[in-house]
Chain A
């Protein structure tokens, strides 16, 4: 190998570098650099033309100065001149300078591109490579425009040298990443894919990166690469370690290429062709087998290269998620790594197992390692490894091990690194909620969380515990008792005071029988924390006090005294002062009845997705988390969706004046905007329209959508009114319906309303409502909303009057089992006869009087008009006031109609 101090060595450069290294201080260094810059500048500006060598030397010095971290604002032109030098080293330094220091000075780019163009067409492979390297290093759009058409030609041309092909492939990849619109493979596709078969391993190694990237974007066009990749992989995996000569790395044949092949296969589902699939499974098995063989070398490079392939193979197995045998083997292999002496392997095993935990085939196998993982959480010395262990525990948690895992995570939290505490808190809160069998355990867990890591308990977490306590009456007494006890600690976290204030304000009465927690004791306990708290907490406590006055009249005078004190009624904070004044007045002028109504116990929160879950997702949004983890998290998160989840509003007592926060409205900037749910369908308003035709379908802080509709026979017309509630205009407002609709005005001024008309024709009976997608920009943010349009089959009813005799005769005629649909359900609303009648009339059928022998029952008849046919339907609703239940029976000439009507109506009463 040539020694370093070769003839080309630039002495001046070496001297300069030595000088810089000898500088004792930053100041001295800067002084030396400024001297050099002045020198170079004068040389460049001098009258005497510089020879190539000097130019090269000075450009190289500038480059060095730049790499030291100083700004360079000249020398670009000289570097560009070097590009067209005939001397290789000068050209090379010119290219290096451009690669490192390029800016989008259009004048220069043109010159640079010119030089590149010359080198690309020079047919000199070394020059071509230099030019390609430069394009790959800079990768600017201008370069893509100039060369994206030329490079594919170079890549597939038969007479291109291997080394040039390699550079061309990766150069194209870089251009594709920056300007995918300019890189069009088109006619080249199949020849590029066939580079996988190239004899030269280096060409395959370079080309496969390009193919993988292109496959991700255009899987269909590149799908022939799957079988080629499998056969290439199979040849490598089955080759002896010496077969591939210099492509064998520490006894491992072509580790880089193997990893890239396995990675490419992860862009596709398992091969459909049985033979290809069999061959691939064989490869994967061989890779797993090799992991068990004794190492061929003690060097870490050997084991790293081998395991790199193994982990990539496991990723592929997980990606396929269809071979239980391989999944379990992968899991066992990772299990071995969990206790490996190499920290790196333990880390990767924990990470990889996280994704295995979400596969139904391997979830149980992963769970068997729980003790090892808990141990890792406790004993690993590296926080990044502990973080992986915590992630894995979260991923492997289910009902069977939740108590253990939550307990371990709680105890870890006491010593956990600050950087990961908030996320840990969210995870504990989610697991506790998701797997709570008895809610007292849940309450205990959350209060523990607040005790241990109060500072990291975000609002969502304590909102959530309150929502759950309010919605579950079996836990309210326990919660009151526990929170009361927790508040007795001399120092307790403000979040505890918030939860305490809220819960005692609602449910303090449940523990007031015990003299140790009598109303006054409760009040004094809360009030002892008051002066230590921030304004929002104080405001919450004031609300709790007024609730106390209602719950416990005996505390009225004490509390009124507190409210009347100067520190409350003259508080400098407007909110606190207002509450004190209003609550004081309310307590003194309102009668007990009025007070009881105003301060009634909070109604259950509407059910929706857990707000803490949304928070975790948001925290770990797509940009902030690895896909692996996200996959696991998503997998874990999807099944939690079933859990009831009320929305927290800023003021839990809801006493505060102001615009009501609509539960389901994702509002701009609200913490509750769920990053994943944007595509979800909002059907909250939908069911309200089964028995009526006009009203507000949707409302949030930005937008209100009103509906007016009318139906005749099988035709209908719906007017949609989009109201902008803000003072800012919505732009690019579009709505798309999965059926045809007239376009709507693309712009809604602040405060204005636009209207859209939809004509509806019912062709045949249906169950799914049309979906309306609304998109618009408010401020800069794109808002996206999908609603179910309240078009239901019953809208096309024609009422049919008939006598008792006729009714029962027809009823008997519709006696096939599938013609009848029946539901028994609990009353959601008061069982008021007049209201029921109104709803049934709204349904569109004729309400038949004096037909049913039981006067409590309702019967209706109607015919649904569709273009295809008419469907006669009869309905009977039997209320049971004592049990607060209904039985609903629908018979129709068409089974799907009975079923759909029954579903729709069961939600109405």
Chain B
């Protein structure tokens, strides 16, 4: 039972070779490039969705921030599709791996910080001390702000990992409970199945929300530094 509980979070291998790169590239197959002037329905839907998200995300940015539009849109689409594909039975979700989420969070966060120090060094340094701070609290607050800055990539990665992992674990547990209860009490099993159905709807929402939150926070860090 314990071994089965963590089996979905082990990266699948074929003859000792990790299939993680293939799983990560797979969402690219869903988003096809339109070759014609008037694409088909699915492509039109994708284009409409991407334009909607781009407008939503990029409105608050200046010209320098908008150069990151491609990166941020790729990020949200990748995380959302990976999370949604992971809800399929017997599939593997790369975003349950902390290593992958940290690998996404650290370069992006560091890029925003370096961008801030490169383009607006005074403003970037000023972020370490909030306006109106009493003089006696200045040293302590600078330390606190520095720690909060360095915690940002860890928080980004751990938030995504924990939310997706917890959801998958819950689905696994409740489905196992529903299956075990079928032979014991059919009514209780039906109630558990209804709970499972509602949880799956919640997980669909969480999958998309977590992608949005991750990208929004990166966008916010970018906005603070540009």
Are A and B interaction partners? no
